[in-house]
Amino acid sequence: MNNKNNIVLINLKDYLNNHLKNDEYKNKQVKQNVRNNAKKVREIFLKNLLNEERNISFDINEQNHTGNYKHDIKNEKNLFGYKDYLYTKLIRQLYLFLSLMGVNKRIINEDNLDEKIGNTYQENYKNNFNFNKMYKYTYNYKKMENLDVIKLLKKYNINKFDENLQFYSYNFSNKNSEKFERDYNKTNFNICIYLPTKKEIDILFIIDILYDYFYFNLYIPITTKENKLIFFPFCFKNNIIIKHHFNIFVPYLYIYKNTYMEQKSIKFNLNSLNIITDQIFDLKFQDNKTIFFIPLIAYNKYGCRVGSGKGYYDRTFISLYKRAKINDEKKNKSIDQISETKNVKDNKNNETEKNKIVDHVKVSVSFEAFLYDVDFNEPTDIILDYIINEKNIYKFLF
């Protein structure tokens, strides 16, 4: 595979000047129509992907001019489905994106490898990402028995819990994710992701695979009583999650810690991006550059997204920008590492390039099926810095 970056640069300066700064420019009904339509498409599209039987063998490298894939029947070991094809493409896109952002890479050696996931020394040594590898998608949330919950919580010296709660765990498809320890000296990025439901792009499955190749700290959004978001640390090992507001998964450690702090009338300490800075058990905070992966139902080529309609991300970021007095020019500063013609390079020692990255970027990941050629943005909406699908990485210039 020719692993040139496939960045599509879109300049939004004229668009923002002509539309978003006009208070009379309202798209509320248009957005609701798109949301209703996209939900119907999502119900069919993602349900079919999840229930699809693997009965074909994809050759993801041989594509014709229309972008279609060729396939033939080989053997059971090589059987994949269309969902595997799409998630493999997203994994490759996210690898390129994190490389371009300057996220520090792991040096993988024989001691890190696990034969269970089919990796080989040749494809992982010195972080040689294999662009020919196919990944089989799995939905990895598993219900936990109380005995397993007791065993895991004891590692945090938690001996009492509500046994009426239903506990889950994310059983990582990539067993290496559980083996790699955090290395705070080498980690230069925080990554905030949502814990997906079956109706959303499974960003955690993708991040699980990419944890083999990059150093980063993970954080999960939590809805607060003030109808905003804060971001709580998430650990690959010993993860225990429960369903919280709107049946969204959150770490149980948050529920436990927050209950204790409310009893003591203590609040979490937050940085300027609402990331919790308190040490949570053995998880330490680092004031790193940050990537926010924001869920969506639909999107367009104006950097706009349609969410669930509750407005948590919009309210949170608008509040953060007001509080920090960040103007549009500063918060949307260009990242000079990416151009239309530049090939992907590691640039591990190029600190000058890395230092040009802004403090945070807002990114959404989706499939092309949810791209709408419709302007549905409203003045109160945030504009994304990047949107990534299986074909392109859209970078929006302000």
- Taking only the tens place, the pLDDT of each residue in 332-358 is 454 444 444 444 444 444 433 333 334
Q: Quick check: 168 pLDDT over 60?
A: yes
Residue 229 lies in a domain: yes
Instruction: Please give the average per-residue pLDDT across 115-125, as a whole number.
Output: 38
Q: How far is CA 41 from CA 49, 50, 56, 68, 368, in A?
A: 12, 14, 24, 21, 12
Q: What is the pLDDT of residue 23?
A: 57
pLDDT score of 325: 57
**pLDDT in the model for residue 5:** 58
* Residue-number span of the structural domain to which 259 is assigned: 25-58+79-107+133-327+357-395
Number of domains into which the chain is organized: 1
pLDDT at 368 over 90: yes
**Residue 323, pLDDT above cutoff 90:** no
Mean per-residue pLDDT for 93-109?
Answer: 90
pLDDT reading at 215 higher than 70: yes
Mean pLDDT confidence for 182-206: 92
- Domain membership of residue 117 (yes or no) is no
352 domain residue, yes or no: no
pLDDT at 180: 63
The answer to the question of residue 220 being in a domain is yes
* pLDDT at residue 81, as a whole number: 87
pLDDT digit string (tens) for 290-309?
999 999 999 999 999 999 88
118 within domain boundaries: no
Does residue 7 belong to any structural domain of this protein? Answer: no
The single residue listed with the structure tokens 């009492």 is 160
Q: Do residues 177 and 211 lie in contact, with contact meaning Cβ atoms separated by under 8 Å?
A: yes
- CA quadruple 80, 83, 84, 86: dihedral positive or negative? positive
Q: Within a domain: residue 128?
A: no
pLDDT at residue number 307: 93
Does a structural domain hold residue 9? no
Instruction: Look up residue 368 and give its two tokens.
Output: 């092309």
The enclosing domain of 217 has a CATH number of 3.40.50.10420
- For the ranges 22-36, 196-210, 318-332, the maximum mean pLDDT occurs at 196-210
Q: What is the pLDDT of residue 396?
A: 96
